Structure 1
Amino acid sequence: MSATSREDPVFAAVDLGATSGRVITGRVGPGELVLTEAHRFANVPVRLPDGLRWDVLALYQGMLDGLRAAARSGPVASVGIDTWAVDYGLLDADGSLLGMPFHYRDDRNGPAAAKVLAGVGARELYEVTGLQHLPFNTVFQLAAHRSTAQWGAARTLLLMPDLLVYWLTGTVGAEVTNASTTGLFDTRAGRWSDALIGGLGLERTLFPPLREPGSRAGTLLAQAADFTGLAPDTPVTTVASHDTASAVAAVPAREPGFAYVSCGTWSLAGLELDAPVLTEESRAANFTNERGVDGTVRYLRNIMGMWLLEECRRTWARGGHSPGLGALLADAARARPFAAVVDPDDPVFLAPGDMPSRIDSVLARTGQAVPDGPGGYVRCVLESLALAHRRTLRRAAALAGRELTHVHLVGGGSRNELLCRWTADATGLPVTAGPAEATALGNVLLQARAHGLVGDLGGLRRLVASTQELRHYAPRGDLSAWDRAAERLEAARG
């Protein structure tokens, strides 16, 4: 990575994930792109008597602390915010938050999803939204929320990044890549679906105007500027606020026909298209059509990603056994190949808890032996993820009528050499791993583009490819062992 000049503008990327938040500064110049972590803080959900909630006030304070740290690196040209999708806060008529936002893993969502689908059929919903059915989609969460006293006082709905932008600037809006994940967005028209919102008995006025990545949301309010030390006229730039959309924008692709896996807590595996795929086959395969940068479509499926491994590690740590990740991966590399495989998307894996025991229950149900020690569990998880990447990318290509030539694996999972190597082996395609900080890079570069420093999406990706550390994996040998494991898994899935 080349060193940049102190004269290059500094952009502050607020990047909030499911377990931690960060503020990262990026310097962008001609042929130059360098990130520096200014501040990191925990994201710890809180289980209240009425459900699992996000501690959004702690997240906001962590963001302010991070922006104050960023201000010490030099004048900040802009701030951009990305988070996970689907979750939201409700504001009352005075603009005050009505309670802590619910967490998408809260168990209230399943019954609410069934209630919505009883009124609006799954096929009709997909024809408008093109959205993968997940029980925590915003449209289903709202059905659960409507039974609360808060609902009657709600006047504005803001998705998580839009809520934080509102507290920084006082302006309301809905960034389009995140809005497209709600199940209330017309994917063809690129706007809120008035028909769906009205048909579900929701008030249209709850949903604020849409914003495109690259537009200015506003400038810092006085109290935010005072606390952080940033200039009062510092702009907050709308980036691709769904973290996956920012990550896909930073995929260092130089070739057409690429596939991507954005791998962190979730693995988001799919293709970048010019138009949505809304066939009945696509709906039955549970693929989603979400907005990307410049009107592109992220045609993908959510796969339960490194969540399985991290929950295993948390379970072992609670039991007093906490081997480091390096030791676990070394043990996994030595473990017997394909001793046990599971479907990462089995609903039993969704909620927090004792993941090794849940894996045991799935293996018992499918007639497989439990792994031998932590290394065996890790191998089971990583081989199962590689198989899920293979299955999802092949199906996406078939449904979209595309031929795959290359896989780009970005995000934190790109640091996991076993996962990258096994994804190449399982798919039979070359894999480029990295950048690990794809989301923050996409956030920074979309701010830089709004300031005229980066060109089109292709130019943005070329800058990533030429400045970031990437690793390349060629598929090894034939696919027969992976084919047999895939057949065994499909048989177990029924």
Structure 2
Amino acid sequence: MGDTIKLLAMDLGASSGRVMLGLYDGNTLRIEEIHRFANTPVYVGGHLYWDVLKLFHEMKKGIQRAYRAHGKLRSLSVDTWGVDYGFIDKRGMLLYSPHHYRDRRMGSHRLGLEALLPPREQFSITGIQPSLINTVYQLFADFQDNDSLLEVADTILMMPDLFHYLFSGIAAAESTIWSTSGLMDAVSGEVSTEVFSRLNIPVGIVPQRVQAGTVIGSILPVIQEELSVGSMEVIAGASHDTASAVASIPYSLKEDAAFISCGTWSLVGMETPKAVITEKSYEYGFTNEQCYGQSNRLLKNITGLWILQELQRNWAEAGKYVSQGQMVELAETINHAPAIIDPNDELFSIPGVMTQRIREYCERTGQQAPYTKAEIIRVILESLAESYRHTIDEMEEITGKKINIIHMVGGGIQNELLCQLTANITGRKVVAGPVEAGAIGNIIIQLAALGELEISGGKQVVERSFAFKTYQPSLVKVCEK
């Protein structure tokens, strides 16, 4: 057995970021959190932006801490949420901070875009469900609002591609993150010249395409000097965080399994050999994104623990902070929620007072409104589990496949009540784990890119290295695997 290989996964979610160290000894993988930081958007002039330079600073801080504690690091890779991007100008500099997908600038341009590219045609070309947050809507709005953008913007980089560029100086468009954009052809897997042409946006702003698991360069000498660290490879892994998370799942049988990547968003889906572009999948609101290895993820985005997080923020601002653990304890004091909400209702899509919005939704739909904290939390958790059940039932209808097991991954699985409710309400066995799925998948793909691991062996490494819990559809809370 050789020396331990040390790698860094920069795993950024919509509310927080982590620099995770992977230690691989040739048999098992150990994960260590090096640095965790908030990812807080910033309002400027009525628009919402990501504080991208602060995020880059925090990632560099994580590299420095890892190097000081562990010495030589082999590589790094960044994975993030989808759809958002930044512009690089003709001098190679970041043009301005990337907009947040919850920014409202797209609304006034929706009709203009859809006149040129109707929603049904968007889906048939790209396999992506039309949504105002999609890159295609954001990009169209940017070019409509800024006449000079064509003159100054040289390259568009999705968020992980942007961070890889800041680290390495090399611009590349990685496939899994670009598959979230609504700008790729679902059949060929290439950038859709049809979409760019219809919207009168130059396709030349897209840099060279690379597949997930590509070594694109090394960290810049100036960064090595700044941080007092040695050279490290920069790898474009499965740069979309869901693609990384799914790459960590040790399926026993992929064909009869669904996955739920559970965090601020809940991504509910299954892997398929190719994109599922049918009338029924469009009608039911499913989208298609690329996996590591170029297979397909048929999935639906559901507003996830964002609602609970926003509720927690509301109470904290009122001086009544309730921890996640306390929320679960409160929800367990009652047996059933008095109402069920649709987490994807527009009412819950932007920051605001969630208690008021939940009550408003219940009144609008003729249901009993929750009033105690326990009732409100229970409504959210049961509503999420019910939305999972509905989505999985739809996937069975669309694909003709029977789904017998659900793999839940991500930070949300630490909420054991949500996992048990998912098993109870869906009537299916739930296997929960790993928690740090995005970082683990990120590191497994880096190891494969470096030639240190056959990707087919990643499943065994994950099974040997991490704990899992199984939840049966019953009143028994947790059964150890």
Partner Cα distance (1:418, 1:252) in 2: 23
Query: How far 1:382 moved relative to its partner?
Result: 0.4
Aligned to 2:463: 465
Matched, 1:143 2:140: yes
**C-alpha offsets along residues 467-490 of structure 1, whole Å, 9 cap, x if unaligned?**
11111001117xxxxxxxxxxxxx
RMSD: 1.5
Q: Report how far residue 114 of structure 1 moved.
A: 3.0
Contact between 1:98 and 1:150, CA under 8 Å: does it hold in 2?
no
Between the aligned partners of 1:324 and 1:168, the Cα distance in structure 2 is 36
Post-superposition shift, 1:149? 5.0
**Corresponding letter in the other structure for 1:473:** Y
Instruction: Give the one of 1, 5, 8 matched to 2:4.
Output: 8
Counterpart among 9, 22, 40 of residue 18 in structure 2: 22
Judge which range, 5-14 or 296-305, deviates more: 5-14
1:85 to 57, 82, 92: 82
CA distance in 1, matches of 2:51, 2:389: 36
CA positional deviation for 1:369: 2.2
Partner of 2:417: 418
Contact 1:263 1:412 in 2 (8 A): yes
Cα pair 1:33 1:467 within 8 Å, conserved:
yes
- The answer on whether the counterparts of 1:248 and 1:438 sit within 8 Å (CA) in structure 2 is yes
Pairing 1:51-450 to 2, within 5 Å after superposition: 51-72=47-68, 73-146=70-143, 147-148=145-146, 151-152=149-150, 153-232=152-231, 234-256=232-254, 257-450=256-449
Contact 1:127 1:278 in 2 (8 A): yes
2:424 counterpart letter in structure 1:
D
CA distance in 2: counterparts of 1:201 and 1:413, whole angstroms:
41
Q: Using a 3 Å threshold, how does the CA distance of structure 1 residues 29 and 150 change in structure 2: closer, same or farther?
A: farther
3-state DSSP class of the match of 1:191?
A: coil
One-letter identity of the residue aligned with 2:9: A
Q: Which residue of 1 aligns with 2:45?
A: 49
Structure 1 residues 462-471 or 159-168, which shifts more?
Answer: 462-471
Deviates more, 1:431-440 or 1:42-51: 42-51
Unaligned 5+ segments in structure 2 are 476-481
Secondary structure of residue in 2 paired with 1:302: strand
Secondary structure of the structure 2 residue equivalent to 1:201: coil
For residues 82 and 409 of structure 2, the distance between their equivalents in structure 1, rounded to whole angstroms, comes to 18
Q: Is the 8 A contact 2:122 2:129 kept in 1?
A: no
Aligned partners of 1:428, 1:31: CA distance in 2, in Å? 36
The number of aligned residues is 472
Q: Which amino acid aligns with 2:409?
A: V
Q: Distance in 2 between matches of 1:6 and 1:25?
A: 18
SS of the residue 1:352 aligns to: coil
Return the TM-score normalized by structure 2. 0.96
Contact 1:254 1:462 in 2 (8 A): no
Shift of 1:392: 0.7
Contact 1:410–1:435 under 8 Å retained in 2 = yes
- For 2:313 and 2:203, the matched residues in 1 are separated by 42
Contact kept in structure 2, 1:29 and 1:453, CA below 8 Å: no
Report if the CA contact (8 A) 1:397-1:404 is conserved. yes
Q: Kindly tell me: are residues 150 and 418 of structure 1, through their superposed partners in 2, closer, same or farther at Cα, counting changes over 3 Å?
A: farther
Q: Shift of residue 110 of structure 1?
A: 2.8
Cα deviation for residue 174 of structure 1 reads 0.7
CA distance in 2, matches of 1:42, 1:150: 33
Tell me what 1:35 maps to.
31
Shift of residue 6, structure 1, vs aligned partner: 9.5
- Which one-letter code corresponds to 2:7 in the other structure? F
SS in structure 2 of the partner of residue 315 of structure 1? helix
Segments of structure 1 that go 5 or more residues without pairing to the other structure are 478-494
SS at match of 2:293: helix
CA displacement at 1:112 relative to structure 2: 2.6
Aligned mates of 1:118, 1:461 — CA distance in 2: 46
Instruction: Tell me by how many angstroms 1:30 deviates.
Output: 2.9
User: Could you tell me whether the CA contact under 8 Å between 1:123 and 1:280 is conserved in 2?
Assistant: no
In structure 2, distance between residues paired with 1:370 and 1:227: 56
| Cα 1:84/1:150, change in 2 over 3 Å | farther
SS of the counterpart of 2:20?
strand
Partner of 1:483 in structure 2? none
Which digits, 9 at most, give the CA deviation of each residue in 1:250-289, with x for residues without a partner?
A: 0121223111000000000010011111011111111011
* CA contact 1:175–1:241 (8 Å) conserved in 2: yes
TM-superposed CA distance for 1:116, in Å, is 1.2
* TM-score under structure 1 length normalisation: 0.93
* Aligned mates of 1:27, 1:186 — CA distance in 2: 37
Give the Cα separation in 2 of the matches to 1:44 and 1:29: 36
User: What is the deviation of 1:7?
Assistant: 2.6
Query: 2: CA distance between counterparts of 1:294 and 1:6?
Result: 27
